[in-house]
A and B are shown apart, each in its own frame.
Chain A
Amino acid sequence: MTKAALMKHAFGSMARGLSLCALVTALVLPSDAGASETRGFVVSWFYPAMYATDADCPEGLNPKVEGLFERILKEEGKSPSEIAKLMENIPRNFDEIATNRGRINGKPVNVYLNPTSVPDPRIKIGQGKIGLGFNLDGKIGPSDFTDPETHEKGVDNQLSRILACFEATRGTPIRGLWPGMQWDAPRDTMPAWLIQISGIDDVKNDDDVSISFYRATAPILRNAKGDPQANMTFLVDTTPRYQNKVHGRIKDGMILSDVFEFFLAADPYIQPDFNFKKARVRLRIESNGTLNGYIGGYASVEGAYLGAAAGEAGEEAFSAVDVPGIYYALQRLADGDVDSKAGKRTTISATYRIDAVPAFFTTPKDKPEPQTASASPQ
């Protein structure tokens, strides 16, 4: 890209964001010299990647909140007339009864803090063969999917099986109600997530690019539609643990990463943090300048449970996602790291959808630029 073209890009239509680092770098180059391009983005949506089909749940979906509450009331030993009375006002009655349905030594306890205080309700699990994600273990097993977009076989995404048969989590082609709400609710307070693709020489095919994930110091700015406003400038949080940088390549316009470990703090309402082991991403920069794609890896079982349980009864009533049922399913379907001491697996294969819009990054002037941060002050 020539200097003139870059300037036009940077200060012209601005359909796409450009980091300050790339801009400054580009402007000092000879006008005809080729210059690598850097694109910055702020994450607008992040939620479990679901690919719902009619064949996913042959036994039907898990019950809606009415069915869930009725089952809980029966397990509580309520009489039919009591059940009928309590069912008349679920929003008012669900909270206390559902919260304290756990029993330890016969005494009621908070079920969200003590998910094993109730028997495994054996929630319905997805049985589909098509699913979004990556072949994380290099094997093709009976419980693996075939990705509908890449057609890759052996895709590991057990988390999607757990979520597949709840109406509030099924979301093809749009995000499910519950995960969408989970990401959206704290967006005005949670520091934004940032993605940077740097070293782009050819947006179609490039063997050597860098993909970085950062956390900003401030939340997104919403536009009039409630979506993150593009071209916002964010200050990068230079906390070393939040610097995720991985080598990647672009193949036919698809940005693919090497395997890396991903860690970013989120919000307790969603889950405190996301940690993917053996992670990889596939992303695409769309013609309108947005970035879309997926990150997959082995996610923390504990983190996934906290994500389901954090909203307690209010969220369980809203989504009808049976929280202890999720806990037991996570234990059963976890397919990642083994904690030999505890005798159980601590991670589960998962893939999350990423949508992002162009953004600019800067780093604080009073702090040294982190080694992995490619954004820099002007």
Chain B
Amino acid sequence: MGLWDMLNGNHGKRLLGAAFIGLAAVFLTPAIKAQTAVADTAQVVGGPVVMRRLTQHEYRNIIRDVFGPSIALTGRFEPDTRADELIAVGAGEATITASAFENYDRMAKGIAAQVLDDDHRDQYISCKPVDKRAADQKCARQFIESFGRFLFRRPLKENELAAYLKANADATALVHDFYAGLRVSLAGLLSAPQFLYRQEQTEPDNSGARRLTGYGMASRLSFLLWNSVPDNQLLNAAAKGELKDPQILTRQIDRMLASPRLEEGVRAFFEDMLAFDNFDSLDKDSELYPAFSRDVANDAREQTLRTIVDHLLSRNGDYRDLFTTGKTFLTPRLGTIYGVAVETPNGLVNEWTPYNIPAGRPQAGILTQASFLMLYSHPGRSSPTLRGKALREKILCQRVPDPPANVNFSLLEARGNEYRTARQRLDAHTSNPACAGCHKIMDPIGLALENFDTISGYRAAENGAPINASGRLDGINYTDAAGLGAAVHDNPQAPTCFVRRLYAYAVGRQATQGEGKWLDGELREQFSSDGYRVRGLLRRIALSPQFYRVTAEAR
């Protein structure tokens, strides 16, 4: 199978620019061969390898981790693609169009120019060329090998290295500048499919099936736990084949779980799970809700991520308690939305401080935080339907069908109808049997959050009519939003969904049938017996042979 077959076959429809195709054809063949062989292996618990385009976050993190935070990214990213509720899964179907490749190329050249400019180059290159105006293969090789290993998440193969060295030599000969030549090589590395796509290579395992190579394991681990490339220690372990040793693998995983970089990985997962990328386009009607601003939206996003990191990592808390916890963080600016005083040491608008929601408040847990409430609302009003749908799909993994094309709103829009609350409007709307089926599973959840407007400001009444926030979720009754949080906490589907979602995020696809049984059975049970600790769940996934086992089984 050639590159083009692979790109247009198992891995979706990808359109690549001519330059990209040329590079890919040279460098990808071995990986493709490995994947082709997987299709013939025996059926074991595991799943196919997915070639995933780097997400924007991953790209940014890699450049920061490899070259340091001073390197600025100039250019636009191709929008991430979401599939099966996750960008991590959509990345397996994401394409690179010709225009997108131009953007990647521009970004690569910008990075290379900064890394090799007069101010920065000495911190990246330990050798000096014999003649700055001529090629120096030894020094160039040292640089390309060193950084190529991190960027490709594995050592460069000889043919790859030769190609980049030739590019360096040709460019240097043309412009008589060693560093300009090196810029060409580095830009080439950053434009290569081996960098832009996460390619996990496989090898036969002891059972006659296939598994990820050591470098494949290292890459999968580091993107899951750190949302970035493996560090030197992990790559060294991969190089020595040590990751096949359960004891060394355990030590490496525990090291990674103990690293502060774990926060980056956990944040990235929850940003994906909660679709926080939609914050980039979130807007509200400033005439109706002048308190909303880009800064407030950013604070809302950050509040939830801080709550999650604090609860799950700092306190090693129960995942389910995210839906009931009163412990969070606020800035004075965000306090204006909630209408609460936020005391900070310096009184700055953007100063974060821990905040405990007083008992008895209708707010508790991340569902009542501004991030969820703002994100799943319309610009000018709240939306019980969007909120209910988001909870069903993102937290409980329950798919809600799309609305029919011929939705009839005439009943709501007819003059003389005085529906003052969302509940009244939705009751009228769902009198249509065609609409009622889906609305019944979304609206009762969303109506519990109706005490919070589209920017999460509290309201006891809508248009003068008291808001009834009571409802029922899968057999559990509640009277307000805090009660809804408690109902989600006690819903067995919530942790089941979480296990499935985390695994899909980790492998970049939905679980196969075999994996599904393992996830819903053994792993779900272990998550429960571990007290629903997410750090523990990450460890169990990372240590499991299933995580590295490769099969051709379809979803």
Measured CB to CB, the residues of A under 8 A from B are 7-8, 10-14, 18-20, 23, 216-218, 221, 223-225, 227, 229-235, 360, 362, 364-365, 377-378
Contacts and interface: CB of A to CB of B under 8 A. Distances in A.
B316 interface: no
Given A11-B458, A223-B291, A232 B286 contact: no
Given A7-B360, A225-B290, A14 B339 contact: yes
Which of A8, A231, A360, A377 gathers most chain B CB within 10 Å? A231
Given A221-B349, A362-B341, A377-B343, A233 B290 contact: no
List the 10 closest A-B pairs by CB distance, nearest first.
Answer: A14-B339, A235-B347, A360-B341, A224-B286, A223-B290, A224-B290, A233-B332, A225-B290, A231-B336, A362-B343
B21 interface: no
B57 interface: no
Interface string B501-538: 00000000000000000000000000000000000000
Contacts of B345: 364-365
B175 interface: no
Nearest to A7: B360
A230 B337 CA distance: 9
Contacts of B333: 221, 229, 232
Contacts of B336: 221, 229-232
A136 B48 CA distance: 86
Nearest to A223: B290
B123 interface: no
Contacts of A231: 335-336, 339-340
Interface string B337-353: 01111111111110000
B358 interface: yes
A11 B341 contact: no
B291 A224 contact: yes
Contacts of B339: 11-14, 231
Contacts of A10: 340
A224 B292 contact: yes
Given A23-B341, A360-B341, A229 B291 contact: yes
Q: Give chain A's interface secondary structure class.
A: loop
B451 to A, nearest CB: 9
A12 B460 contact: yes
B332 to A, nearest CB: 4
6 contacts: A13-B460, A229-B290, A233-B343, A235-B346, A362-B341, A378-B343
A19 to B, nearest CB: 8
B293 A224 contact: yes
Given A7-B358, A225-B290, A227-B290, A218 B340 contact: no
B292 A11 contact: no
A362 B351 CA distance: 14
B481 to A, nearest CB: 13
B341 A233 contact: yes
The range of chain B's interface size is 20 to 34
B347 A217 contact: yes
Contacts of B349: 218, 221, 232
A190 B457 CA distance: 28
B228 to A, nearest CB: 35
A209 to B, nearest CB: 21
A14 B340 contact: yes
A365 B343 CA distance: 10
A265 to B, nearest CB: 16
B290 to A, nearest CB: 4
A70 to B, nearest CB: 43
A14 B337 CA distance: 9
B138 interface: no
B333 to A, nearest CB: 6
Contacts of B459: 13
B133 to A, nearest CB: 53
A145 B460 CA distance: 45
Nearest to B346: A235
B347 A20 contact: no
A234 B292 CA distance: 19
A362 B347 CA distance: 8
A7 B335 CA distance: 16
Contacts of B332: 221, 232-234
B361 interface: yes
Which of B344, B349, B363, B460 gathers most chain A CB within 10 Å? B349
B151 to A, nearest CB: 42
A288 to B, nearest CB: 14
Contacts of B340: 10-11, 14, 231, 360
Interface in B452-489: 457-460
A11 B481 CA distance: 14
Nearest to B347: A235
Contacts of A225: 286-287, 290
A13 B458 contact: yes
B360 to A, nearest CB: 6
Contact of A20 (B343, B358, B363): B343
Nearest to B355: A378
A218 B338 CA distance: 20
A23 B341 CA distance: 10
Given A233-B335, A235-B346, A362-B347, 8 more contacts: A14-B338, A14-B458, A221-B333, A224-B289, A230-B291, A360-B340, A365-B345, A378-B341
